[in-house]
Chains A and B, each alone.
Chain A
Amino acid sequence: MAKILKKEQWSDTIFSMLIEAKDVAKAAKPGQFIILIPKEHGERIPLTIADSSLNEGWVQIVFQVVGKSTLELSRMNKGEELFSFVGPLGMPSEVEKFPGKVVMIGGGIGIAPIHPIAKKLKEMGNHVVSIIGAKTADLLIMEDKIREASTEVIVATDDGSKGKKGFVNAVLEELLTTEADNVSKIWAIGPPIMMKVCAMSAGKFKKPIIVSLNPIMVDGTGMCGACRVTVGGKTKFACVDGPEFDGALVDFDELMARQGQYKELEQKALELYKSKEGVA
Chain B
Amino acid sequence: MAERIKASEKFKRDRVPMKEQDPKERIKNFNEVPYGYSFEEAIKEAQRCLQCKPPACVAGCPADVHVPEFIDKILDEDVEGAFKEIKLTNALPAICGRVCPQEEQCEGACILNKKGKPIAIGRLERFVADWAREKGVVDEPPAEDSNVGKRVAIVGSGPAGLACAADLAKLGYDVAIFEALHKPGGVLVYGIPEFRLPKAIVQYEVDQIKEMGVKIYTDYVIGYIKTVDELVEEYDAVFLANGAGAPSFLHIPGENLNGVYSASEFLTRSNLMRAFDFPNYDTPLNVGKRVVVIGGGNVAMDAVRTAKRLGAEESIIVYRRSRTEMPARAEEIEHAEAEGIQFELLTNPVKILGDDNGNVKGLECIRMELGEPDESGRRRPVPIEGSNFVMDVDNVIVAIGQNANPIVARSATGVETNKWGYFIADENTGKTTHPKVWAGGDIVTGAATVILAVGAGKKAAKSIHETLSQ
Partners in one complex: yes
Contacts of B245 in A (CB 8 A): 221-223
Q: How many interface contacts (CB-CB < 8 Å) are there between A and B? A: 116
Whether B182 lies near A257 (C-beta < 8 A) is: no
Query: Which chain A residues (29-46) contact chain B, with CB distance < 8 Å?
Result: 32, 37, 41-44
Specify which of A83, A224, A265 is in contact with B262 (CB 8 Å cutoff).
A224
Whether B282 lies near A23 (C-beta < 8 A) is: no
A-side interface residues, number (CB < 8 Å): 42
CB pairs A–B below 8 angstroms (16 shown): A42-B282, A44-B182, A44-B273, A44-B283, A84-B182, A89-B224, A221-B180, A222-B406, A223-B264, A225-B247, A235-B255, A257-B357, A258-B258, A260-B258, A262-B284, A266-B284
Contacts of B182 in A (CB 8 A): 37, 44, 83-84, 86
Binds A, one of B33-41, B161-169, B215-223: B215-223
**Given A225-B265, A226-B265; A27-B225 close (CB under 8 Å):** yes
What is the distance, in angstroms, from B354's C-beta to the closest C-beta of chain A? 9
**Given A23-B226, A86-B182; A269-B407 close (CB under 8 Å):** no
What is the distance, in angstroms, from A4's C-beta to the closest C-beta of chain B? 16
Whether A269 lies near B278 (C-beta < 8 A) is: yes
The 8 closest A-B pairs by CB, nearest first: A257-B358, A265-B284, A224-B265, A86-B219, A84-B182, A43-B282, A261-B258, A223-B245
Whether B280 lies near A257 (C-beta < 8 A) is: no
Any chain A CB within 8 A of the CB of B193? no
Any chain B CB within 8 A of the CB of A152? no
List the B residue with the shortest CB-CB distance to A83.
Answer: B182
Whether B264 lies near A225 (C-beta < 8 A) is: yes
Whether B180 lies near A219 (C-beta < 8 A) is: yes
* Chain A interface, DSSP helix/strand/loop, else mixed: mixed
Any chain B CB within 8 A of the CB of A24? yes
Specify which of A89, A219, A265 is in contact with B181 (CB 8 Å cutoff).
A219
What is the distance, in angstroms, from A136's C-beta to the closest C-beta of chain B? 30
Give Cα A32–Cα B284 distance, bound, in whole angstroms.
Answer: 25
Whether A84 lies near B218 (C-beta < 8 A) is: yes
Whether B407 lies near A265 (C-beta < 8 A) is: no
Whether B282 lies near A269 (C-beta < 8 A) is: yes
**Given A37-B182, A218-B265, A223-B264; A24-B225 close (CB under 8 Å):** yes
Contacts of B190 in A (CB 8 A): 223
Contacts of B261 in A (CB 8 A): 225-226
Whether A88 lies near B256 (C-beta < 8 A) is: no
Any chain B CB within 8 A of the CB of A240? yes
